[in-house]
């Protein structure tokens, strides 16, 4: 226990009551119109559900610490956005899937067919280049 924080490890609370409270908070998040309230409720939900992490960031200089904090903030924001809005596979895989869906698109004439093929090739090139230049961390996934 400190001035700003209280940490309880292995609390003896009733699991069912905690889960019910979590559901109430989830409902409040959905019904809230204030971004601030939503953020605070989500923080509360994370703490109740055990989703708390403490990151200690250090560095050789103040500038290095600031840069690392910025990277952590960016990663945290990207993770929050992914959780809220969904995520797609990286490395151009989502574009490859979109390209495959275009093959199902009906075309009225030859020109439209060629146009669809051009778009498909453009969508596929991102993945091809990432594999060619070893940007893909695990090529064996394919």
Assess if residue 45 is contained within a domain. yes
Per DSSP (E only), the strands in 1-142 are none
Q: What angle do CA 110, 111, 117 make, to 5 degrees?
A: 90
User: In which band, very low, low, confident or very high, does the pLDDT at 6 lie, cut at 50, 70 and 90?
Assistant: low
Say if 59 falls within a structural domain: yes
Query: Among 41-45, 75-79, 102-106, which range has the highest average pLDDT?
Result: 102-106
Distance CA 102, CA 56 (A): 47
Tell me the per-residue pLDDT of 109-130, one tens digit each, with 9 for 90 and over.
Answer: 999 999 999 999 998 887 777 7
Domain contains 104: yes
Residues 6+ apart with CB under 8 A from 67: 59
The two structure tokens encoding residue 89: 């596979």
Domain assignment of residue 79, yes or no: no
pLDDT at res. 31: 92
Domain containing residue 21: 1-65
Distance CA 9, CA 88 (A): 35
Query: Would residue 72 count as lying in a domain?
Result: no
Start-end of H helices in 86-134 = 93-102, 110-132
User: Minimal CA–CA distance to 38: which of 23, 26, 48?
Assistant: 26
33 DSSP assignment? -
Residue 76 lies in a domain: no
Q: How confident is residue 140, by pLDDT bands cut at 50, 70 and 90?
A: very low
Tell me the per-residue pLDDT of 80-108, one tens digit each, with 9 for 90 and over: 777 777 777 666 778 888 898 998 999 99
Output the pTM of the full model.
0.38
Compute and round to an integer the Cα radius of gyration of the chain. 23
């Amino acid at each position: 226990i400190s001035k700003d924080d209280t940490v309880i490890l292995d609390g003896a609370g009733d699991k069912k009551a905690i889960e019910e409270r979590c559901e109430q908070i989830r409902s409040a998040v959905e019904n809230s119109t204030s971004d601030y309230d939503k953020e605070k409720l989500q923080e509360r939900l994370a703490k109740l559900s055990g989703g708390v992490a403490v990151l200690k960031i250090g560095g050789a200089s103040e500038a290095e610490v600031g840069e690392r904090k910025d990277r952590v903030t960016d990663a945290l924001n990207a993770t929050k956005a992914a959780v809220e809005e969904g995520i797609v596979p990286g490395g151009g895989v989502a574009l490859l899937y979109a390209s495959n869906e275009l093959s199902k698109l009906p075309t009225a004439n030859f020109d439209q067919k060629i146009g669809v093929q051009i778009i498909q090739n453009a969508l596929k090139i991102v993945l091809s280049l990432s594999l060619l230049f070893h940007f893909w961390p695990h090529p064996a996934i394919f």
